[in-house]
Amino acid sequence: MQHYQLFIDGGRCEGSGGQILHTENPATGDTWASFACADPRDVNRAVAAARRALEDPAWRDLTQTQRGKLLFRLAELVEAHAEELGRLETTDSGKLLAETLSQTQYVGDFYRYYAGLADKIEGSVLPIDKPDMHVFTKREPVGVVAAVVPWNAQMFLTATKLGPALAAGCTVVLKASEIAPIPMLEFASLINQAGFPPGVVSVITGDAENCAIPLTRHPDVDRIAFTGGPETARHVVRNSAESFAVTSLELGGKSPVLVFDDADLDGAANGLIAGNFGASGQSCVAGSRALIQRTVFEELIDKITEKAARISVGDPLEATTHVGPLCTSAQIDKIKVTLNKAIEQGAEIRLGGAPLECSGNYMAPTLVACPHRDIETLKVEMFGPVMSLLAFDTEDEAIALANDTPYGLASGIFTRDVARAHRVSSRLRAGICWINTYRAISPIAPFGGFNQSGYGREAGIEAVLDYTRTKTVWINTSGEPMANPFVMR
Nearest in space to 205 (alpha carbons), one of 471, 67, 4, 421 = 4
Asked if residue 27 lies in contact with residue 324, where contact means CB atoms within 8 angstroms, the answer is yes
β-strand partners of 162: none
Gap between the Cα atoms of 168 and 146, Å rounded: 15
Q: How far is CA 77 from CA 44, 153, 181, 195, in A?
A: 29, 19, 19, 11
Asked if residue 434 lies in contact with residue 283, where contact means CB atoms within 8 angstroms, the answer is no
Nearest in space to 26 (alpha carbons), one of 435, 330, 300, 231 = 330
Please provide residue 478's backbone torsions phi and psi, each rounded to the nearest 5 degrees: -75, -25
For the chain, helix, strand, coil in percent to 5 are 40, 20, 40
250 is catalytic: yes
User: Which of 24, 250, 376, 381 is flagged as catalytic?
Assistant: 250
β-strand partners of 36: 20
Asked if residue 271 lies in contact with residue 412, where contact means CB atoms within 8 angstroms, the answer is yes
Q: At what angle do helices 154-167 and 182-194 cross, to 10 degrees?
A: 30
Query: CA-based angle 249:252:253, to the nearest 5?
Result: 130
Nearest in space to 144 (alpha carbons), one of 194, 200, 196 = 200
* E-only strand ranges, 48-200: 124-126, 133-141, 144-149, 171-176
Please provide residue 289's backbone torsions phi and psi, each rounded to the nearest 5 degrees: -115, 105
Which residues, in sequence order, are CB contacts of 451 under 8 Å at separation 6+? Answer: 405, 406, 407, 408, 429
Gap between the Cα atoms of 66 and 349, Å rounded: 57
Gap between the Cα atoms of 394 and 263, Å rounded: 14
Query: Dihedral angle at the C-alpha atoms of 281, 282, 287, 290, nearest 10 degrees?
Result: 40
Catalytically annotated residues:
250
